[in-house]
A and B are shown apart, each in its own frame.
Chain A
Amino acid sequence: MRKTTSSQDFIRGIWNENPVLIQMLGLCPALAVTNSVANALAMSAATFFVICCSSVLISTFKNLIPHEVRISSYILVIATFVTLADMMLQAYAPVQHKELGAFIALIVVNCMILGRQEAFSAKHNVFRSLLDAVGTGIGFTIALVMMGGFREILGEGRFLGYSLFGPNFEPWVIMVLPAGGFLTLGFILLAMGFFEQRKKAKTEQTAEVSS
């Protein structure tokens, strides 16, 4: 395995290996709850809590978990923290809890969390695992808030509930409907592909010039 420094562990999840935009993990919550920024934030906070806690716990006990039942053990740990997150949201943010509904429970089957445990926490010490989890959590938050922002601004003409354009704005209702979720993520990916290709062409050009 390639050696990485602690700062790389942290940065990687935020941008280079962003769980939603690059690795396509955790798409289900990313599309389902991003019809407003507030929902996206609540979802990210819950996921952030779950991924950090389970990373710390699993990397602490990595030597005690038998290899054969590791996936089930990870799932159990994650499910426990999701239950906690569910109860906390219900207590402190009842409005968001009601809007997110079943999708809080669905954090259990978010492949991003299980993926980080299997790929990272099971092999590294507590500090590095926490860094990795925080990085991935922030990356997830960025992706969700970005999508929530696009969809809320275009779909309702508001941001975090504040009106942006005044009464003459005709909202694109499609953006807050399910189809808008697919389209928003699709267009974000297209834009990323465009910039990626331009960057590649540029580096090739400079390589040619220098050779």
Chain B
Amino acid sequence: MNDQTLFSIFFSAMVVNNFTLAMFLGLCPFMGVSARVETALRMGLANIFVLILTSLSAWVLNTYILETVPYLRIISFIIVVASLVQIVEMAVKKMSPTLFRQLGIFLPLMTTNCAIFGLAIFQTNRGYDFMQGITFAVGAGLGLTLALVLMASIRESVEFSDVPSIARGTGLVLIIAGTLSMAFMGFAGLL
């Protein structure tokens, strides 16, 4: 049990300890999907959804199953995340083929997204209960979306500027990310 207030958990996950910019989780989509604002936004929303489901299942696992077998934690978490992503993928495909097409490869790739797995692990390590876990997931998801959208909008405008040829590509993205991360450090004193 952890006695942080819901607000501080939410705010900490969203900006102060932003998953992408301060804890380096979910960098693959951050690098890969941040070329256009629209895709970035959709990716972020899909992430929020899966994060909430993960938080729920991690809580169920922690409360009812893993108490007796703590050493199986990593294995059972990864299985749960993998099957969860699979189920979400099937559900989306069945219910809304349009959305499924828009998300494309990024939906299955979520299995190996460190943000999802990291959320389950951090939630366990900090001993969050049900409500705290959900708040943490929503905050983390919003934080990811925020970082993705910010990054995408910067990249959209950088696209047309004259950058030295050595800096085109990942090097530039990383330096922009560093600058964004520095900006987010300004929130550090808030909590």
Q: Residue A88 at the B interface, CB < 8 A? A: no
Measured CA separation A109–B29 after assembly (Å): 13
Measured CA separation A185–B121 after assembly (Å): 26
User: Given contacts A83-B74, A106-B117, is CB(A76)–CB(B182) below 8 Å?
Assistant: no
User: Given contacts A27-B28, A186-B178, is CB(A178)–CB(B23) below 8 Å?
Assistant: yes
Provide the residues of chain A in CB contact with B28, threshold 8 Å: 27-28, 111
User: Given contacts A27-B28, A76-B79, A179-B178, is CB(A193)–CB(B166) below 8 Å?
Assistant: yes
Provide the residues of chain A in CB contact with B79, threshold 8 Å: 72, 76
The answer to whether A179 and B171 have CB atoms under 8 Å apart is: no
Interface 1/0 per residue, A54-66 and B, CB below 8 Å? 0000000000000
Q: Which of A82, A111, A177, A185 has a CB less than 8 Å from the CB of B74?
A: A82
Q: How far is the CB of A119 from chain B (nearest CB, A)?
A: 14
The answer to whether B178 and A106 have CB atoms under 8 Å apart is: no
Q: Residue B177 at the A interface, CB < 8 A? A: yes
Q: Residue A161 at the B interface, CB < 8 A? A: no
Which of chain A's residues has its CB closest to B122's CB?
A: A102
The answer to whether A177 and B185 have CB atoms under 8 Å apart is: yes
User: Given contacts A31-B27, A79-B74, A182-B181, is CB(A187)–CB(B175) below 8 Å?
Assistant: yes
- Among A83, A106, A182, residue most surrounded by chain B Cβ atoms (within 10 Å): A182
Q: How far is the CB of A182 from chain B (nearest CB, A)?
A: 3
Interface residues on B, range: 35 or more
Q: Residue A108 at the B interface, CB < 8 A? A: yes
Which of chain A's residues has its CB closest to B173's CB?
A: A186
**In the complex, chain A residues 1-60 whose Cβ is within 8 Å of any chain B Cβ:** 24, 27-28, 31-32
The answer to whether B166 and A197 have CB atoms under 8 Å apart is: yes
Which of chain B's residues has its CB closest to A177's CB?
A: B185
Provide the residues of chain A in CB contact with B185, threshold 8 Å: 177-179
Interface residues on A, range: 35 or more
Interface 1/0 per residue, A151-171 and B, CB below 8 Å? 000000000000000000000
Measured CA separation A182–B173 after assembly (Å): 9
Q: How far is the CB of B113 from chain A (nearest CB, A)?
A: 7
Q: Which of A24, A186, A196 has a CB less than 8 Å from the CB of B175?
A: A186
Q: Residue A105 at the B interface, CB < 8 A? A: yes
Provide the residues of chain B in CB contact with A87, threshold 8 Å: 71
The answer to whether A28 and B75 have CB atoms under 8 Å apart is: no
**In the complex, chain A residues 71-92 whose Cβ is within 8 Å of any chain B Cβ:** 72, 75-76, 79-80, 82-83, 86-87
Q: How far is the CB of A7 from chain B (nearest CB, A)?
A: 29
The answer to whether B75 and A79 have CB atoms under 8 Å apart is: yes
Q: How far is the CB of A183 from chain B (nearest CB, A)?
A: 4
Measured CA separation A111–B25 after assembly (Å): 12
Measured CA separation A24–B173 after assembly (Å): 12
The answer to whether B75 and A106 have CB atoms under 8 Å apart is: no
Q: Which of A75, A177, A182 has a CB less than 8 Å from the CB of B177?
A: A182
User: Given contacts A27-B31, A109-B117, is CB(A178)–CB(B125) below 8 Å?
Assistant: no
Provide the residues of chain A in CB contact with B112, threshold 8 Å: 109, 111, 114
Measured CA separation A193–B28 after assembly (Å): 21
Interface 1/0 per residue, A185-202 and B, CB below 8 Å? 111011001101100000
> What 3 A-B pairs are tightest by C-beta distance, nearest first?
A182-B178, A186-B174, A189-B171
6 A-B pairs whose Cβ atoms sit less than 8 Å apart in the complex: A83-B75, A178-B185, A179-B181, A179-B185, A186-B178, A190-B171
Residues of chain B having any CB pair with chain A under 8 Å? 21-28, 31, 71-75, 77-79, 82, 111-114, 117-118, 121-122, 125, 165-167, 169-175, 177-179, 181-182, 185
